[in-house]
Amino acid sequence: MGRVLTAIISTIICGAAASFIEPFVFAMSIPVALMGGFILVEIQRKNGKQKAL
């Protein structure tokens, strides 16, 4: 649960900071990329656990 909360808070903070960046499309891609990074890390962690079994 801690990782999910960290991902949500980080994405919101990144979105707020990116809202001042121009152009708008680039500003909105930063929070999406951050959340994608969290998702990839969790997928890799899950796959690592399955291989250990």
Separation CA 25–CA 20 (nearest Å): 12
Separation CA 48–CA 40 (nearest Å): 12
Separation CA 34–CA 48 (nearest Å): 21
- Which of the four pLDDT bands, split at 50, 70 and 90, describes residue 40? very high
Name the residue type at position 4: V
Q: What is the pLDDT of residue 53?
A: 67
Which of 1 and 20 is assigned the larger pLDDT? 20
User: What is the mean pLDDT of the segment spanning 30-45?
Assistant: 90
Q: What is the pLDDT of residue 4?
A: 84
